[in-house]
Amino acid sequence: MKLISFIIPSRNNLKYLKQAYNSIRKNTLYPHEICIADDASTDGTKEWVQSIIDSGEDACLKLHINEGPERLGHTILYDTLVNEVSTHERVMIFHADMYLCPNADEEIDKYLEPGKVVSLTRIEPPLHPDGPEKIIEDFGIEPEEFRENNLLRWIRDEREQGEDKISNGIFAPWAIYKEDFQRIGGHDPLYAPQSKEDSDIFNRFQLAGYKFIQTWQGFVYHMTSRGSRFKDGAMRNPAGEVFMAGRESNEWLEQNTRSTRNFIRKWGHMVQHDEMLKPIIPHKYNVGFIVENCTTHLLKELEPWCSDIYGDWLGHKGYGVNTYIKEEQPNTQFDLSKKIHSSYMELNNDILVSFDCEQLNSNNFQVLVNLSDIISDSGEIGHMQHEIFTFHIHSMKTYEKELIII
């Protein structure tokens, strides 16, 4: 077997991290490398990992420390561990709240080759919506109540009854050759500290021609987003049913909003995938909006959906374009001062979409959300009218493949 470097950032997740570490060590027969990044934790994470290293008990355990006080996030720390800490040619992106089940590494070894990304199948308690790419079974939502023996018996039965099948979705935990990861530049720091970095890199894997394999004989048990998203923990009602509704942390909600807006700015659409979570990637076009009667609120809604936006901002008394740029610029690496224009002298976009914002509503806004598909379906250079929008298509050039490399 070729060895794997498990890549595990962790921030104040010590009780889950201990379980993840122990599962890798006791459920594999090989000395895989475990690379942990402590992201400015205050719960004793670095002290615990360092104590194992200092004891000499585990020569294949590596630690990277972000002293903080600000977090870097796993978007950055995944790449730090892969590029600066790991020593094996194959790496696995692994979450601190996952339990590696027996023989999972052998399943990875069975399928992983250059140009392929291999995912294990997640077993999760019913905290997120169900889907055909995962298995919903409740073996505990906290390490203190984890029914490990029940899980292991269930896996033995599942393997005996199940098929040695694969599908082609992608999600954590996923394994890849380090050279393939580095070839496209790893994760995009645009999404730091977290959220949408996985959807972005999955798009880029697919555009680069990598093949996705999910093995249904290799498993992890996933405690499910037990980091900053649900840091207050899941709960059980008196009947013993688990839930997380409305328990997302403000930190995660705010960062998810920022990352979603940046994903739209970069790709021109929301995250899309099929039922097995294989990415669906619409074309990326160079689109400029020419707007009339645009308010500050609508500028915030419209700006991520285009390459440039042109408006007669001076015609609106007290209009806060500069205020918007000042407030929004810290949330993105895109230069908003070069994206928001008050002059129509240089319209350099391949496609221009003109409309009056006073006619914009929640229904016709969906035209802008689905703009890539509408342009693709039109399929020709020229002018067309679609609801309140006038399209001027000068070129059908697409740019999504230019987004592969960071």
Provide the pLDDT for residue 34. 98
Burial class (CB in 10 A: 0-12, 13-18, 19+), 64: middle
Alpha helices in 103-147 (DSSP H): 104-111
Provide the pLDDT for residue 246. 64
Which H or E element spans position 384?
A: strand 382-386
pTM given for the model: 0.95
Q: Is the distance from CB of 26 to CB of 54 less than 8 angstroms?
A: no
- Start-to-end CA distance of the chain, whole Å, equals 31
Q: Which residues of the chain have pLDDT under 50?
A: 318
Residue where the block lists tokens 């914009």: 360
Domain positions in the chain are 5-267, 287-399
Closest CA to 215 of 108, 302, 353, 309: 108
**Phi, psi (deg, nearest 5) at residue 105:** -65, -35
Ramachandran sector of residue 12 (left: φ over 0; alpha: ψ -120 to 50; beta: rest): left
pLDDT tens per residue across span 354-395? 999 999 999 999 999 999 999 999 878 999 999 999 999 999
pLDDT tens per residue across span 242-280? 876 666 778 888 999 999 999 999 999 999 999 999 999
Six-digit token string for 349: 């976009």
Q: What CATH code is assigned to 5-267?
A: 3.90.550.10
Alpha helices in 303-397 (DSSP H): 321-328, 365-369, 371-378
Provide the pLDDT for residue 318. 47
What lies within 8 Å, CB to CB, of 400 at 6+ separation is 203, 207, 267, 281, 282, 283, 284
pLDDT tens per residue across span 158-174? 888 877 899 999 999 99
**Alpha carbon 249 to chain centroid, angstroms:** 17
Q: What percent of the chain has pLDDT over 70?
A: 95
Provide the pLDDT for residue 235. 77
Which H or E element spans position 24?
A: helix 14-26
